[in-house]
């Protein structure tokens, strides 16, 4: 009998607790919000397709063997198309050259044994990751060109520069051919260094230093 009374007492206490908490809560969901809203599927997304606002890089000339990797590819294939898009990689063979032009007269000229990744191609800024080799960049002034190699970031607003990335020695040689630009990197103390690009200089990624020559 005692156990039965305790059982009913527990039920009464539990019900009272629920009622008290329900009244004390600042709000509760109304009945019409118990159904989950439908997902908006009117805007399909695909990482295989570049953004509609991205600029097309037209291949105006090339020689030798050129390999290309798509936005979602994991292995490269022989380049057979005439346009490069944001997110694609290009690699030139030892006997190869490649010249790409963008709508604002921005040029990328690759020599042999060079690898770049076109990570952004927008009217606001064209951004390239240069992994190795020698590449010459030209900016007309309408769209800035930014190049990252190791931890070094270069920005060319208007002018022409050649960047040589030595992937074996972790060094980047920068030669300003015309115009001017800026560079930035963090030194060993994690302090940002900002310099004007002029003439010839070498960035050492292991020492995190830039020395003019």
Which residue segments constitute the domains of the chain, with CATH numbers given?
Answer: 57-212 (2.60.120.1440)
Average pLDDT value for residue range 16-42: 46
pLDDT of residue 105 exceeding 50, the answer is: yes
Q: What are phi and psi of 17, to 5 degrees?
A: -65, -45
Question: What is residue 15's three-state secondary structure?
Answer: helix
**In the structure, what pLDDT confidence band is assigned to residue 50 with cuts at 50, 70 and 90?**
confident
* The pLDDT value given to residue 5: 45
Q: Which residues contact 71 (CB under 8 A, 6 or more apart)?
A: 47, 48, 49, 50, 85, 86, 87, 88
* The pLDDT value given to residue 54: 94
Place of tokens 């590819």: 73
Residue 147 Cα distances to 38, 49, 53, 81, 137, angstroms: 43, 23, 20, 24, 9
pLDDT of residue 145 exceeding 50, the answer is: yes
Structure tokens at 163: 């960047």
Q: What are phi and psi of 157, to 5 degrees?
A: -80, -45
Q: What are phi and psi of 2, to 5 degrees?
A: -65, -40
**In the structure, what pLDDT confidence band is assigned to residue 154 with cuts at 50, 70 and 90?**
very high
Structure tokens at 52: 């509609």
Average pLDDT value for residue range 207-212: 97
pLDDT of residue 21 exceeding 50, the answer is: no
pLDDT of residue 32 exceeding 90, the answer is: no
Threshold 0.85, pTM exceeds: no
Structure tokens at 134: 């020698």
């Amino acid at each position: 009998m005692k156990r039965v009374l305790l059982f009913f007492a527990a039920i009464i206490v539990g019900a009272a607790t629920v009622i008290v908490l329900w009244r004390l809560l600042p709000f509760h969901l109304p009945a019409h919000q118990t159904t989950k809203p439908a997902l908006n599927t009117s805007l399909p997304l695909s990482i295989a397709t570049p953004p509609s606002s991205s600029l097309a890089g037209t291949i105006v000339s090339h020689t030798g063997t050129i390999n290309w990797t798509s936005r979602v590819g994991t292995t490269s294939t022989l380049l057979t198309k005439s346009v490069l898009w944001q997110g694609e990689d290009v690699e030139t063979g030892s006997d190869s050259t490649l010249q790409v032009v963008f709508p604002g007269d921005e040029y990328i000229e690759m020599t042999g044994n060079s690898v770049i990744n076109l990570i952004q191609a927008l009217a606001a800024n064209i951004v390239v990751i240069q992994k190795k080799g020698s590449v010459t960049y030209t900016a007309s002034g309408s769209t800035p060109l930014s190049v990252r190699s190791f931890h070094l970031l270069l920005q060319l607003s208007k002018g022409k520069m050649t960047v040589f990335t030595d992937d074996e020695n972790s060094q980047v040689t920068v030669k300003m051919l015309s115009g001017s630009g800026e560079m930035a990197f963090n030194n060993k103390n994690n302090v940002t260094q900002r310099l004007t690009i002029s003439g010839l200089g070498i960035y050492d990624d292991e020492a995190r230093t830039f020395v003019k020559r």
